[in-house]
Structure 1
Amino acid sequence: MPQITVDYSDNLADGFDRPAFARDLHSAVVDIAAAKPPACKTRFRRTEDPVVGPDTEGHALVHVHIALLAGRTDETKARLTEAALDLLRQHVKAADGRTLHASAEVRDLDPSYRKFEGE
């Protein structure tokens, strides 16, 4: 915990500093949601062919999913969401006049969540 997934359109591949974004987001999760630094895990999923409304051209999408163990207040979750959006503004540059559609959400992990570490 936390489990962070970032979906981003393939047309952002060159304009998205993913390692720096993950590093800065991990720091925000630690500061805002009291997570432990080694517990922060982020995976990036490149998606193809973004479509917004009737348009298939001129758009780029990125969405950040942050899943935490239950117990954080709605205010904490909102602060973390805003921090994620601020970091996207810093680390994502849409190329060629594309419109960037950025969003983020924080949710509780399901009570069934379990994990293990091992080799």
Structure 2
Amino acid sequence: MPHLIVEYSANLSGFPEAQMLAELNQTVTASPEIPDEIELKSRCVAHASYAVGTQTTGRAFVHAQLRLLSGRSPEAKLDFSQRIVDVLRRLTPQPEGVLVQLSVEIVDMDRPSYIKTRL
């Protein structure tokens, strides 16, 4: 059920996608809110075309969006945000002279209309 999408600007060369996904999956599925680790689907997406403000250089971003079925408490959502940002802070490259913005967003998916099946 949960979907974790990590988007980042392509100027973060050496972005550790595999390590990022492995560590994010570990920390997110360690939450008591996730009953079964197999339910988490995660991916990284690099953006070659992006803008951060009005300057054309010296800026980068990493944005993580965790999509969960609706019904989680504000405290549970904050816990997820903190777990995710801690990993982002630790693993995101910090190129010299580049301001890197990190952000985390928790999104409620509509429980009645969400469909998931296994093949």
**TM category, shorter:** 0.7 to 0.9
Tell me how far apart the structure 1 counterparts of residues 108 and 76 of structure 2 sit (CA, whole Å): 12
Q: TM-score, normalised by structure 1?
A: 0.88
Post-superposition, which runs of at least 4 consecutive aligned residues in structure 1 deviate over 3 A? none
Tell me how far apart the structure 2 counterparts of residues 42 and 30 of structure 1 sit (CA, whole Å): 11
In structure 2, the CA distance between the partners of 1:48 and 1:33, relative to structure 1 (3 Å rule), is: farther
Provide the secondary structure at the position in 2 that maps to 1:93.
Answer: coil
Number of aligned residues: 117
Tell me which amino acid in the other structure corresponds to 1:53: G
Tell me how far apart the structure 1 counterparts of residues 72 and 20 of structure 2 sit (CA, whole Å): 23
In the alignment, structure 1 residue 70 sits paired with structure 2 residue 80: no
Tell me which amino acid in the other structure corresponds to 1:101: Q
Extract unaligned runs of 5+ from structure 2. Answer: none
Match of 1:99 in 2: 99
Match of 1:87 in 2: 87
Coordinate RMSD, CA, aligned = 1.5
In the alignment, structure 1 residue 113 sits paired with structure 2 residue 111: no
Is residue 3–residue 42 contact of structure 1 (8 Å, CA) maintained in 2?
yes
Shift of 1:67: 0.6
Extract unaligned runs of 5+ from structure 1. Answer: none
In structure 2, the CA distance between the partners of 1:70 and 1:116, relative to structure 1 (3 Å rule), is: same
Tell me which amino acid in the other structure corresponds to 2:4: I
Is residue 28–residue 84 contact of structure 2 (8 Å, CA) maintained in 1?
no
Tell me which amino acid in the other structure corresponds to 1:39: E
Percent identical pairs in the alignment equals 31
Tell me which amino acid in the other structure corresponds to 2:31: I
Q: TM-score, normalised by structure 2?
A: 0.88
Match of 2:31 in 1: 32
